[in-house]
Amino acid sequence: MITGLSHVSIVVPNLQTAARELEKKYGLKIGEIRVNEQQGVRMAYVDLGNAKIELMEPSRPDSPVAKFLERNPRGGIHHFSLQVNSIQASIVELEHQGARVIGDGMQKNVHGERIAFVHPRDFLGALVELEEHLK
């Protein structure tokens, strides 16, 4: 079911400011800034080779990321993403085990991959994104 870690998502108040700080302090460079209209976020990735850091800022005030920033004005870790081969099979398996899955797997990330989320109460208090990586 789970094949690896895809990325850790960090909400930031300002994507450009975060990018400058990561480059100045750590020599890390962000990739292309993209917008996911469905989720109401602007985002960019820092590619670390075996995983990524996803930086997200809200693109509209009603997005879940904007609500996260209301509670955490400086930003912070929002979720981490695990790779799966099949969203549908993973959802069925997790629900069979008693986990609550948020969404039906029809949402897509900026790369067009299907995603769903596992409720934090069912993963040690952490929000987990499942991200389908087709072979």
Active site residues: 129
Burial 17-46, CB ≥16 within 10 A → b, else e: ebbeebeeeeeeebeeeeebeebbbbbbbb
52 backbone dihedrals φ, ψ, rounded to 5°: -135, 160
Residue 128's DSSP bridge partners are 80, 118
The DSSP letter of residue 23 is H
